[in-house]
Chains A and B, each alone.
Chain A
Amino acid sequence: MTEEVKTDGQRSSAFVVSPQKRKMQKLAKNAGETLLLGIASFVAIIVLFIFFFVAVDAIPYFQLRGFTEFFTSTGWYPADEPGEFGALAIIYGSAMVTFGSALLAVPMGIAAAVCLSDILPFSVRQYAKPVIEMLAAIPSVAFGFFALVILAPLLQSNGGPLLMWTWWILAAPFLLLAVIVAADLLSARFAQEENRKKMALLLQSLFGLLAVLVLYVVGTKLNAIEIITGTNALNVSIILSFMALPTIVSVAEDALQSVGRELREGSYALGATRAETLLKTVLPAASSGILAAVILGIMRALGETMVVWMASGNSSHIPDPWYNYLDAVRTLTATIAGDMGEADQVTGSERYHVLFAMGLLLLVISFFSNLVSERIVVRQRKILSGQ
């Protein structure tokens, strides 16, 4: 190569690319990039295809039967001639187990995320993260099997005592806390400086007595409950909440971490405790990210199939009374999974198309929730980075 470099200013022939070759290279580069773009757009094409093919099989149902029956009737008798396709009870069942699981998973998930991002030292966090990942990795059918074979019989045979102990273990610490805080607040408000301690003690014992009474009365009420069927909305809600937790925790933790140190340090400098800093400064700043986490967690619960199919009882009716979580329910996902086997898959029938209508409903809900949560996350990132 050295001998080819002759004089300055004159380029070596080794580095000269003929115009033809350069053209070819440019062509290859463009072709390659187009191919890459094509493959990258594959995902978008799939999303369009999913919408298209689910909609194509769902629309015939609405053409045949209209919208009213599907959304307002509770009669679900797809096997009859003529069939009834009222999905209201099924939609309600889906909403019910999703709400139940959110009720359990959201507070726990946010608390765990706060703990992971702000409270636990790094050494402990290293071990807590794999636990959450394992919880997320366990296949849904294994959770369903647990719900059906272990939790359901347990609820059926020992439901009352189980509920009572859960209530006691969960409620006792919170009530204790409420007693202390209430006594403190009231005594600070109404008593003179010198009497405050006595007043607080008096109020504490008074409220404490009340709290024990509440614990006892509600406990005995729960103990007396006999659960007729273990495969019910409560069972499913509990299991679903543990399936939604990892999603909530990881997304919420990301949101909390994206709140900078400056906000936290400012709050500490003003004399706030850690809890006050987190509750009054960090959580409000991260609120939109946490909302996104909650939405994603709820979607995880709503879209879950195997657990609800195995352990919800699959009974298409609105529980009586409507908030009765100890009743069997049926959900959209379980109905799709369970009824497709009996529907005519090849030629199609109302029975086949109604299941696609349910699928379309799920798809639309998940699409919009995703869109909303994504927008929220983007907006939060912009706000926090000060744009």
Chain B
Amino acid sequence: MNLGTRKILDNSFTAVGMGSIVVMALALLVVLTPIVYNGVGSVFFTGTIEHRTMLYKEFGRGDAKAIETQTATADRYRAEAYRMLSDFEQEMEGMSLEASRQYRSKYAPVRAAMSSLLGPLPGDPVPMLTRFQYGQTRWEKAEEKLHNILYEKKWDYSDPTVMAKAFDVPRAEEFAGTKLAPLFSYAERHLADMMQPQFTVYWGFFTDRSLDAHIFGGIWPEIQGTFFLAIGAMLFAFPLGVIAAVYFTEYAKEGFFTSILRSANSTLAGVPSIVFGLFGLAFFINTMKVSESKSVLAGALTLAIMILPTIIRAAEEAILSVPKTYKEASLGLGSTKWNTIVTVILPAALPGIITGGIISLGRAAGETAPIIFTAAVSVGSAIGIADVFSSPTPALSWNIYNLASEHEMASEIRHVQYGMVLSLVSIVLLLNLSAILLRAKISQKLKG
């Protein structure tokens, strides 16, 4: 091979290596960007009058006077639309049986879409579920609903070789000549007047309880549950892990028994997270009966087992990185081994141990599989600190799954899901970031 080709090969080898690091960074960016962008939208968004009314009625927050005047304005514009609906309903009474039946079936979706945009129509009974008591609370959702009012979605099956394509048919054409026809252009023109959009900052998203399975309200129960579980897991795992690390580094004599203990540690680190869930269910709940059924306690214990190997490893590394001279000086001054460990080695290793602890805390907060069978419920209110021994809790990680995959209105509440994902990711990444910074500081200190 000539030298030029060898150089090209050498450079392209470098390029492949750098390329894969760039791909990783890009992947991080691609995953995080939409989560951050849309997640921020759960707090900062254009809210409608329905959002402010809901907040005022359900949480008692907001400027009553401003809401009243805005509602009055919105109602004035809405009344016109309601009048068109009722006019058309009367017109249908007077039609021939055939025509009336045809129009009735076309009219039903229009009425449903109107009610989902504006809330219950005049004359409707007050709905039982909170989700039907208010119209659209967010402006972009209101625009979506307007589209549903203006157009009927139809499917084109004409070509059997390709997948059916959707296309929109304007309803204004279908109702041409009736008293409903002006509604469509009216709704399009006066949407803003009917909804009174206004830039909203909803900090309550983090501190409010959820209403009607997260269709309105905030995610406080999930945030609290995540903290309970993660901190509970740390309470069990951190002391155990640090003590075990002290044993491994200071007391263990290299031998068969110690090597078995070390293998056990790496085996535990490799157990799939869902198997921890199975174990938590079979052992803590069905055998030990730490609680009747799922509970925060059972979940925290399961998570504690999962993060134990990480804590042990981090603590071991931190203790080993303490300079030998510290220990020798302390022993030389006549202090006992245990005294040296407690007063010299552990304080010197503490930043490193805490770094490992912080990373494990993040892992415990983000893990889902171990808590599915042991601690998590889909809907529920925030639990008191006294209930942690007996009751399950909602948690961010589990509820992200639940809202995205199992919620009956999953596609309607994407903003809540994004808000939850952003909260979870920021909790975990902030913890990790602080660990990284702490570690950088330690290495600087050790360098002197």
Contacts and interface: CB of A to CB of B under 8 A. Distances in A.
B240 A131 contact: no
6 contacts: A36-B243, A119-B18, A142-B425, A145-B400, A359-B278, A367-B267
Contacts of A139: 365-368, 397, 424-425, 428
Contact of A137 (B16, B163, B362): B362
B425 A177 contact: no
Contacts of B432: 133-134, 137
B369 interface: yes
Interface stretch (A45-53, A84-92, A322-330): A45-53
Given A114-B17, A137-B432, A303-B274, A145 B261 contact: no
A222 interface: no
Nearest to B244: A40
B273 interface: yes
A305 B398 CA distance: 12
Interface string B252-268: 10000000110111111
A146 interface: yes
Interface of A: 29, 32-33, 36-37, 39-44, 46-47, 49-50, 53-54, 56-57, 107-109, 111-112, 114-116, 119-120, 128, 130-135, 137-146, 148-150, 173, 177, 180-181, 184-185, 188, 226, 228, 242, 245, 249, 273-276, 278-279, 296, 299, 302-306, 309-310, 333, 336-337, 340, 345-346, 355-356, 359, 362-363, 366-367, 369-371, 374
A71 to B, nearest CB: 19
Interface string B17-42: 11111011101100110110000000
B404 A149 contact: yes
Interface in B141-192: 162-163
Contacts of A150: 34
A46 B425 contact: no
B401 A359 contact: no
Nearest to B263: A374
Nearest to A362: B272
B447 interface: no
A362 B274 contact: yes
B20 A111 contact: yes
Contacts of B17: 111-112, 114-115, 119
B274 A305 contact: yes
B85 interface: no
Contacts of B265: 43
Given A180-B5, A242-B27, A310-B404, A53 B274 contact: no
Interface in B1-59: 1-2, 4-10, 12-21, 23-25, 27-28, 31-32, 34-35
A144 B282 contact: no
Contacts of A148: 404-405
A363 B34 contact: no
Interface string B301-328: 0000100110010000000000000000
B275 interface: yes
Interface in B223-270: 240, 243-244, 246-248, 251-252, 260-261, 263-270
A47 B278 contact: no
A128 B27 CA distance: 13
A133 B251 contact: no
B28 A40 contact: no
Contact of B35 (A146, A249, A276): A146
Top-5 shortest CB links A-B:
A303-B272, A139-B366, A115-B17, A275-B13, A44-B264
B272 A305 contact: yes
B359 interface: yes
B261 A43 contact: yes
A115 B269 CA distance: 27
A36 B14 contact: no
Contacts of A345: 281, 286, 373
A361 to B, nearest CB: 10
B247 A116 contact: no
Contacts of B199: none
A134 B429 contact: yes
B107 interface: no
B271 A50 contact: yes
Interface in B327-382: 338, 359, 362-363, 365-369, 372-373
A138 B425 contact: yes
Contacts of B31: 138, 142-143, 146, 242
Contacts of B19: 111
B131 interface: no
Which applies to chain A's interface (DSSP): helix, strand, loop or mixed?
Answer: helix
A362 B275 contact: yes
A50 B14 contact: no
A364 B346 CA distance: 37
A134 B426 CA distance: 11
B21 A128 contact: yes
A112 B24 contact: yes
B436 interface: yes
B279 A53 contact: yes
B243 A112 contact: no
Nearest to A35: B243
B287 interface: yes
A33 B404 CA distance: 50
User: Which of B15, B269, B282: most chain A CB closer than 10 A?
Assistant: B282
Contacts of B214: none
Contacts of B248: 40
A43 B309 contact: yes
A194 to B, nearest CB: 14
Given A299-B270, A305-B369, A356 B282 contact: yes
A333 B274 contact: yes
B111 to A, nearest CB: 30
Contact of B251 (A33, A109, A131, A242): A33
A54 B23 contact: no
Contact of B268 (A39, A47, A143): A47
Given A137-B362, A356-B282, A337 B20 contact: no
Contacts of B305: 46
Contact of B13 (A140, A274, A305): A274
B271 A141 contact: no
Given A173-B15, A181-B9, A273-B9, 12 more contacts: A46-B264, A54-B278, A114-B17, A116-B21, A137-B428, A138-B366, A141-B368, A141-B397, A146-B35, A303-B274, A337-B369, A345-B286
Nearest to B269: A370
B414 interface: yes
A250 B5 CA distance: 31
Contact of A366 (B271, B283, B286, B309): B271
B404 A145 contact: yes
A228 B8 CA distance: 42
Given A108-B20, A139-B366, A39 B372 contact: no
Contacts of A144: 401, 404
Contacts of A119: 14, 17-18
Contacts of B373: 340, 345
